Structure 1
Amino acid sequence: MNKKIAVYIDPPSHHFLNDRLFSYSGQLGDDLMAPYVTLQDFFNKKNIPIHTADLIPDENNDEIKIYLSLGILDNYQKLSKRPDVIVSSFFAMECPIVDPRQYKRMRDAQHYFKHMFSWSDSDSLQRFIGEKINIETFCWPQSYDAVHEKHWSRTDRKFLMMMNSNKLPAIYWQELYTERMRAVQYFSQSNDIDLYGREWNLPSIQLGQGHIPYTFRKIKRDIQILWQKVFPNPLLVAARKVYKGAADSKSEVLSEYNFALCFENMIIKGWVTEKIFDCFFTGTIPIYLGSPDISERIPENCFIDMRSFNGYEELLSHLKSLTTDDIQRYRENAKNFLASPAFQPYSKETFAELIVKTIEKDANIFLR
């Protein structure tokens, strides 16, 4: 490699700037940044600088700067004018009902980035982007590639749990935020579920409002808190009956249960996030609802498909009927899946390799 290059990445949000993308330790999940640490390790071994994009230096033609974005779309136009920058790839990491403005902006961004990556395809995303664009697919990278043996081996388990923050989508289309609430409401009647996550003691947070000035958002929030004291939401009242607070460790809490409600944020092709895998890592059986093509990605004998039941009463009856041997089979099947080639598209190493190959192509260099 004769060319001197450096890699600069705009993270999913400003919380991960100043290189926190590679070291963030906030309460977002266990080792959530592991895929980006893996990417950083690869480039460090090649003596290639890699940083978040806020640290990109002033124009310097002695070094080619490869620019990628994992969600932020505020900088690519300015950087595209620099002769020392290659605007390489955009990765849509969030789903469209959470951040619809991002998908609208992808229509313009496609003319600047050499690659537009998504976990779904152009047909599925067209209604959000406004037109068909050239989409290359990737799988959501997982932080681990095997079970957490200490957690997986645990036998003193309770029945059912759910772990999600108390949020509502920006767009109510094929969304599963409110379906989670209805599920909790049903199971709370018989006290058959424990709920974990953030802010279930407060009104639900409406997503997609980051563009609204903070002062107005705070006023709205204060009004919501007062309103719910007078007119409480029945779904939130039910949730608070079984609310156990936020979890210090997702893996630790998951391992305390045999089953977990594992509903994605929305129903759309390809949207398979860490939720189902987090269950596999801890030996918890996921009750899954989300990507319509889930059985093409993960064997059906690894999880319980919510679509197989007419409602929560039927689901509850099925869960209560499962024997210890039945439960263990699900767990073993998931463990075997993680060790199989079928899991590899979701590994952090595969994600890092995809980015490396893309940079090689765009900069006309060989890095491996």
Structure 2
Amino acid sequence: MGRALGGAASGQRDLAAARGGWRARAYRRSSRCRRPRPGAQAGRHAYRVAASAALRSAAQVTCSYAALATRNTEFHADRVFDPRAIAAMRASLEPMATPWLAVHAAARERGLRVLTADRVEAEGIDPRQVLVIAYDWTPDAERLIARGARPAVLVSFEPPVIAWWLYYHLEEVSARFPHTFLFEGARDRVARTTWFHPLYFPQPCPPPRPTGRPWSHRRFLAMINSNKALPRGRELARWLDRPRELSVRREIAGLRYRPIARDRYRARLRAIAAFAEHDDFDLYGEGWQNRHPAVEPALHAAAQRAYRGTVEDKLKLLAGYRFALVYENTRFSGYISEKLFDCFFARCIPIYSGAPDIAQYVPPATFIDVRQFPSFPELERFLRNITEEDAKRYVDAAHTFLISPAFESWCAERFARDVVDALVQTAEE
């Protein structure tokens, strides 16, 4: 939790350390993306660190566009900035999409129009008037920069096990951007010339509080996860849903940078198998109808016994359960996804397995840590012995956290403000 409270101060220290490197940056800067600074005598350092007030003023920047470059085609054509379009997307995309609504709104207040990268060419916009927000490193970002657009922000809501190419080449890629927003575990891997912003997975603020069932009427345990598994070794030959060459390259990258290979998919499947023996455990998510080639038949059969279909409203569903298994995609410092917060919002007690430093971000009184139990039978005994009074303590602790200043670091509006500040700073360089 201390780290959550100290994120802003840490960012300013990183900024001061990187200041000299910014001056030596190799890529060209377009003079069209500048605006006069308030106070000609203000020093470079003093201007940056003082000035949230100046940065957030109503002054307009000459560089009036920022392009979000992403591989996800469902975000293209500005759909990621349309609440109705986001509602029509796959449920798994919603947590990745909704923070950009806040960025779009915050940028508009500062005189910047944020659009998706494909719209730059479609609308005939001069790339030299465009700041690039690269969500991961994409061909669209590379093309825009080659045509004169200005790299500004590199960001990813994914950990190394998913965005493996980005993390493997992170020092090289981040050197092209003045600002990098990634999870804490990436801090030592980014280039020294970029300002590292520790990323807190953006959440809605104020947090939603759906009406849940009384404790006595709730079912025992749920898990909401897509059916994903990353193969290893000889299993690569049987992994049919990706090109073989790409799979081999990913495997090699994982040997050289271990977080790429540090997934939690097998652990998640073992948890499913352990609780699927009971009829009060329910599994939800996409893709469980078909067995992945890398998943053993016994594990798939266990998942099928507990599978209850896909989910339209996660919070409404979780509000009907006492507990939820929350297994992150990987163990990576600072990588805490929306799954944990969905439980907090729904007054459902999370059983957490993921970030090794979770207690530095979220109070331990708000969740049950899987690492405290040597086996699933012992975990199950603990859960079944929790009284309604015990449960209320977990739920109340989570509510206290959600209304505390510590939770502000997770707010989508905070993320949006920081991204837009980074865009404005880049335009002024």
Offset, 1:78: 3.0
Matches within 5 A, 1:205-220: none
In structure 2, the residue matched to 1:165 is: 226
Structure holding more helix per residue: 2
What is the aligned counterpart of 1:243 among 298, 307, 311? Answer: 307
- Determine the C-alpha separation between the residues in 2 that align with 1:279 and 1:5: 39
Contact 2:175 2:193 in 1 (8 A): no
| Counterpart selection for 2:291 from 200, 203, 212 | 203
Query: Which of 177, 181, 188 is 2:269 aligned to?
Result: 181
Q: Cα deviation per residue 1:49-76 (whole Å; 9 max; x = unaligned)?
A: 2111111144638x73111011242133
- Distance in 1 of aligned mates of 2:159 and 2:349: 24
For residue 47 of structure 1, report the CA deviation from its aligned partner.
4.8
One-letter amino acid matched to 2:272: V
| Alignment-mate amino acid for residue 405 of structure 2 | P
Percent of aligned positions that are identical? 27
Q: Partners of 2:183 and 2:218 in 1: how far apart?
A: 34
> CA shift at 1:99, angstroms?
2.9
Q: Which moved more, 1:22-31 or 1:345-354?
A: 22-31
Residues 219, 280 of structure 2: 8 Å contact kept: no
- C-alpha distance in 2, partners of 1:151/1:29? 22
| CA–CA separation in structure 2 for the residues paired with 1:20 and 1:175 | 31
Please show how residues 1-368 of structure 1 align to structure 2 within 5 Å.
Answer: 1=60, 3-11=62-70, 13-23=72-82, 24-25=86-87, 26-28=89-91, 32=95, 33-57=97-121, 58=124, 60=126, 64-83=129-148, 85-122=149-186, 126=189, 135-151=196-212, 156-169=217-230, 173-204=261-292, 224=293, 233-364=297-428
Q: For the Cα contact (< 8 Å) 1:288–1:303, is it kept in 2?
A: yes
CA shift for structure 1 position 46: 4.3
> In structure 2, what is the Cα distance between the partners aligned to 1:270 and 1:328?
27
Partner deviation per Cα, 1:179-198 (whole Å, 9 max, x = no partner): 11101111112334111111
Q: What secondary structure sits across from 2:290 in the alignment? A: coil
Going from structure 1 to structure 2, the CA distance change for 1:259 and 1:268 (only over 3 Å counts) comes to: same
The one-letter amino acid of 1:156's match is H
CA contact (8 A) 2:264 2:330 kept: yes
Per the alignment, residue 207 of structure 1 pairs with none
CA spacing shift, 1:31–1:95, aligned 2, 3 Å? closer
Match of 1:211 in 2: none
Contact kept, 8 Å, 1:122 with 1:132, in 2: the verdict is no
Q: Is the 8 A contact 1:159 1:258 kept in 2?
A: yes
Contact 1:151-1:251 at 8 Å conserved across structures: no
Q: Distance in 1 between matches of 2:179 and 2:344?
A: 32
CA contact (8 A) 2:137 2:173 kept: no
Task: Give RMSD over aligned pairs.
Answer: 2.6
Distance 1:288 1:342 in 2: 19
* Contact 2:91–2:311 (8 Å) recurs in 1: no
Alpha-carbon distance in structure 2 between the residues aligned to 1:154 and 1:29: 28
The answer on whether the counterparts of 2:210 and 2:319 sit within 8 Å (CA) in structure 1 is no
Q: Classify the secondary structure of the residue corresponding to 1:89.
A: strand
**Shift of the alpha carbon at 1:98?**
1.9
Q: Secondary structure at the match of 1:195?
A: strand
User: Aligned in 2, Cα 1:13/1:42: closer, same or farther, shift over 3 Å?
Assistant: same
Indicate the SS of the match to 1:167.
Answer: coil
- Taking the aligned partners of 1:49 and 1:156, their CA distance within structure 2 comes to 48
Q: Assess if the C-alpha contact under 8 Å between 2:205 and 2:413 holds in 1.
A: no
Q: Matches of 2:143 and 2:92 in 1, distance apart?
A: 33
Q: Which deviations, in whole Å up to 9, do the C-alpha atoms of 1:211-243 show, x marking residues without a partner? A: xxxxxxxxxxxxx5xx99xxx610010110111
CA positional deviation for 1:106: 3.0
| C-alpha displacement of 1:154 | 7.4
TM-score normalised to structure 2 length: 0.72
2:126 maps to amino acid: N
Closer, same or farther in 2 for the Cα pair 1:307/1:145, shift >3 Å? Answer: farther
How far does residue 110 in structure 1 lie from its aligned partner after superposition?
A: 2.4
- Alignment TM-score, normalising by the size of structure 1: 0.83
Q: Describe the shift of the 1:362–1:149 C-alpha distance in structure 2 as closer, same or farther (beyond 3 A).
A: same
Q: CA deviation at 1:300?
A: 0.6
